[in-house]
Amino acid sequence: MSRNKPQPLPEGAAGTERSEVEAAPSGRRGAPGRRSVDDKVSAIRELLAGKATVDQLALRFGVKPETIEGWREEAMAAIDTAFRKGPSPEERALARQYGALQKAFTDLAIRHELATRYIESHPRKPRKS
């Protein structure tokens, strides 16, 4: 028993027009299940840029609109955390090293100035040869 495949409707027929955003890259709806980080990032970038709606993205990625909204909430929380975060451990270590180098340089500059003043105030007598 053979199955009849539905015939594609001609271009411009009612109900067949979809925007580029709505169409899945492969031309079909995304399979349900877990989505990669790249998929989530792509979806949220499009959503925040206003290139797609929650419903369009849900259709394309094969998830419920609530899932897209959850991804958006996660992204917003991560953005909030990123802007509130202080310097990284590496940056803090570099800042400590920089402070130590500044202190050492200042110490050497002071010693050099004191040595120069001492030498200028105590002239040497010429030696006999």
What is the pLDDT at residue 123? 82
Q: For 97-109, how does the pLDDT look when each residue is reduced to its tens digit (9 = 90+)? A: 999 999 999 999 9
* Largest CA-CA distance found in the chain, in angstroms, rounded: 123
Residue type, 93: A
Q: Are the C-beta atoms of 57 and 23 separated by less than 8 Å?
A: no
Q: For 110-122, how does the pLDDT look when each residue is reduced to its tens digit (9 = 90+)? A: 999 999 999 999 8
Q: For 63-91, how does the pLDDT look when each residue is reduced to its tens digit (9 = 90+)? A: 999 999 999 999 999 888 888 878 888 99
Measured from the Cβ of residue 61, the count of other Cβ atoms closer than 10 Å reads 21
Q: What is the dihedral sign for C-alpha 53, 55, 58, 59?
A: negative
Which residue in this structure is represented by tokens 């030498």?
119
